[in-house]
Every structure is written in C-alpha cells, then in structure tokens.
Amino acid sequence: MVQRTRASRALTLFLIAILLCMSALACASCGSSGGKQFSKDIQDQLNKAVDAKMAEFGVPGAIIYVAASGKGEWTALKGKANIQTGEAPKQEDHVRIASITKTFTATVILQLVDEKKLSLDDTINKFGLSVTVPNGDKITVRNLLNMTSGLYNYTDDQENFWNKFLPNPTKPWTPEQLVGIANAHGPVSAPGQGYSYNNTNFILQGMIIEKLTGKSAGEEITSRIIDKLGLKNTSFPTSSQMPKPFMNGYMPSAKVPVDVGGPAVKDITIETPTAFFTAGGMISDLADMKIWLKALSDGSLVSPEMHKEQLTFAPPNTTSYGLGVMNGGPLIGHPGEITGYNLAAWIRPTTSDVTIIVFLNRYPSKVEGVSDQFFAEIIKVLEPLFSK
C-alpha cells in the first residue's frame, strides 16, 4: 500500500509463478484438506523458514495460515503481538489490512457496473467529483482499477504526505487532500499506456462509490460485502482506534522511507485510516480473511462477466494486475503495506485449493514486499508436495 513498487514485486511474482507451476497441474482434482495438518516434517520446514525471515527482517510478530487441499493446513502464531507486554499473537487478533482493502473497493465498483450505475469505460469527468484530475476526460474506471491511469501516486510524496502524516498519524485526511497531493505533480504518463501501482486510483474509486450511491464508501463496503459474507471482525473504520484484540503494528524509529533499517521500535498501531481510505484503510482478522478470499476466488459477489474481467491479467496493464486483484502465478489476491503492518493474502481462483495468508506487524523494513518474501519461502516448502 505505502510504497508498493515495481521491480521487487515483479521478481517475487515471477518466482512464485515458477514454483507453483507444478502445483497448478497436480491439484486440479484435489479435495478439501478437511482440517488435516501438514506432516511434522513440513511443519518443521515451515517453522524454520518463517523464523529465519522474521529474524532477517526484524519482524516482531506473525500470524500465518497455509492450506493445500488434500495435503494439509498450518497456522502459526509467532513472536510478539505487543513488544511491551510480550503478549503473543492470537488467531482472532485484528490487523490493518492495508492494500488488501483494494480488493473490497474494486468488488463494489464491479457490483455497480453490474447494476448499470456505471461502465468500465466511463471517464472520471463523467461523475462530477469534488476534484478534477489531469486527463480526467480520458482516464476510465478500468484505468483506475488496473493501475493504468497515469496519475501520480500520492504516497510517493515524502514532503507533502509522509512528512505530514508521520508526526501526527491520527490527524484525519480527506480524499480531496490525498488527490490534491497527486494533482500537484501532474500526470506521469498518458492513460492506458502502462502499468504503475498507484494508490490515488483507489482513492478516486472510493469517491466514485460515494457519488453514485449517496452513501459513504464504508457503508457500501459494509452492506455489500462485510454483512453479506458475515465478516464479524472486518470493518471500514473512520477513527484511529483498533478493535480488541489486536496485533500491534510497529515501524523503525527513523523516518519513512529515508531509512528503514534497525529494529521495529515505534508503535504506530493507532493511526488514522482516512490517510489511506479505499486504497488501504480497512481492518480484519485471519478467520474473516479466509472467508473473503474464498468469495474473491469464486466470484460470488459479482456477475460471471465481471468476475472474468476482474481476473483478466493482460496488457496494456500488466500480466500481474487485473481489476483490483493481483496475480501470483496460479494464485490471486493482494499484498498490503501500511505503517506498522505488512500482509499478503492469496488463493487459487475457482478451486480455492491453495490458500496462503501472511500477517506481519512491521512495516517498513529494509526491503519492500517482506510479506511476499515469506510467501515465496512458504511456496518453496510446499512445492515438493505437488511434484510427487
């Protein structure tokens, strides 16, 4: 969410795609794991891999879930949810899910397309938003969804965003302020000409949702997704507070992103979600994330046509980004990064026979995409199971 970029993301997804090729074939007819645990040997390997990554990147605590149909499942609660008290993470701990929020926002937009309230080819200017953006007469809803708008990413602005957010992380922001930061830089490319991960795109989608429905984006996400799926611990908050219980979020004491080395010593659990809005402001827990990934996998909340659109990964955007969903080999889902938390949530579409969820309570770290690195190490352990 925060600084989601570019080369490291492509390299990680390329590795994942290779490691999962054999499992994509081998699991075509797998049944449910039925709560069966992985063998002790596999669990030992998973523990070793995760422990090594936690030490490498100074991650205080982790909540991790891995399931492979017919092979087993594994839940790990590691390290500390609270450095001060030494309390360990719990499965029911809430976390800020950062850019995984984008999968919710995109789903609501696709539902509105199903309802004929907008089209993927509508341009931003059609909606009469309270902001104007460069090339607003050319940027389409599809461009926003698949990261090809050519707009500037407001979270790339150290001076006007981070230098104001970090000293006062509970101060509210408005969507207009966030888009204004991006507008001050002008466009970075022509619409539809190339992929560039961009949080501004999803702020604008939240504004479109509110304009079309007359309700807040949070209300729409709640009624259309959270309530419909019975997600008891998922929310679109507007205040800085975290529902209990929660895994505290930590960051290095140095400013972001100038220096991200050193221990995660600053507790930044309490921060305003309004600084990230429909690009990354939501909260959830492990149990709800499993349910949400399943719904995302089978497309149960949108029409078959929109589900197909959402999972189309092709130029001119990118082979690794669809409409608010990322592509990790045969898996789909999304990573998330927000000050204090680094996450990844992935599932194989349609079959839902492989699920991997990683919740870490540190961001930033010395590299981008730390949750992806955990993900890749988990895949390395699992791959031999599907090659036999």
Q: Report which of 67, 102, 148 is spatially closest to residue 354, judged by C-alpha positions.
A: 67
Would you state the pLDDT for residue 316?
62
Domains of the chain, start order: 81-371 (3.40.710.10)
C-alpha–C-alpha distance, residues 150 and 98, integer Å: 22
- Using a pLDDT cut of 90, give the percent of the chain over it: 79
C-alpha–C-alpha distance, residues 263 and 283, integer Å: 25
The pLDDT tens digits of the residues spanning 209-231 come to: 999 999 999 999 999 999 999 99
| pLDDT band (50, 70, 90) for residue 387 | low
* Secondary structure letter of residue 127 according to DSSP: G
SS3 373: helix
C-alpha–C-alpha distance, residues 332 and 27, integer Å: 16
Would you state the pLDDT for residue 265?
83
Residue 33 predicted with pLDDT over 60: no
C-alpha–C-alpha distance, residues 24 and 28, integer Å: 7
The pLDDT tens digits of the residues spanning 151-180 come to: 999 999 999 999 999 999 999 999 999 999
Instruction: Quote the pTM value.
Output: 0.94
Q: Per-residue pLDDT averaged across 25-43, rounded?
A: 67
CA distances 233 to 149, 218, 251, 314, Å, are: 33, 14, 24, 34
C-alpha–C-alpha distance, residues 186 and 202, integer Å: 17
Residue type, 261: G
Q: Per-residue pLDDT averaged across 174-202, rounded?
A: 96
Residue 28 predicted with pLDDT over 70: no
The pLDDT tens digits of the residues spanning 233-280 come to: 999 999 999 999 999 999 998 767 667 777 888 999 999 999 999 999
Would you state the pLDDT for residue 89?
98
- Using a pLDDT cut of 70, give the percent of the chain over it: 88
Q: Report which of 211, 206, 212 is spatially closest to residue 175, judged by C-alpha positions.
A: 206
24-28, 178-182, 329-333: least confidently modelled range: 24-28
Residue 25 predicted with pLDDT over 50: no
Q: Report which of 193, 187, 197, 194 is spatially closest to residue 155, judged by C-alpha positions.
A: 197
C-alpha–C-alpha distance, residues 241 and 57, integer Å: 27
List the beta bridge partners of residue 95. 284
Q: Report which of 147, 91, 145 is spatially closest to residue 122, judged by C-alpha positions.
A: 145
